[in-house]
Amino acid sequence: MRLFLAVAVLMLAFIAYTEAQEETIEQKVAQFGERVTQVGQDLAEKVKTAFDSVHNSDAMTKTRDWFTEQFEAFKTKVQELAQ
């Protein structure tokens, strides 16, 4: 009788331990997903900041202005030739 009682208690302890481990694994998976999401958001923010920095840099602004001037000059010449 004692053996059966001891086996039953051990089985209950094993089941409780297994369920506790499964919850821990589920929690770890959820935490991993949250970390991956956070890393992705941080990376996106850093890329956006870098892009804005390059886009608004002095050299890029001058380059855009130069291309705009060249395009306007080209349009003017084409309009003169069309007349």
pLDDT in tens, the chain (83 residues): 677 778 788 787 877 777 766 667 777 788 888 999 999 999 999 999 999 999 899 999 999 999 999 999 999 999 988 87
d(CA 46, CA 28): 27
pLDDT at 49: 95
Structural domain range at position 73: 2-82
- The DSSP code sequence of 31-67 is HHHHHHHHHHHHHHHHHHHHHHHHHTSHHHHHHHHHH
**Domains of the chain: total:** 1
pLDDT at 10: 77
Predicted TM-score (pTM) above 0.85? no
pLDDT at 29: 81
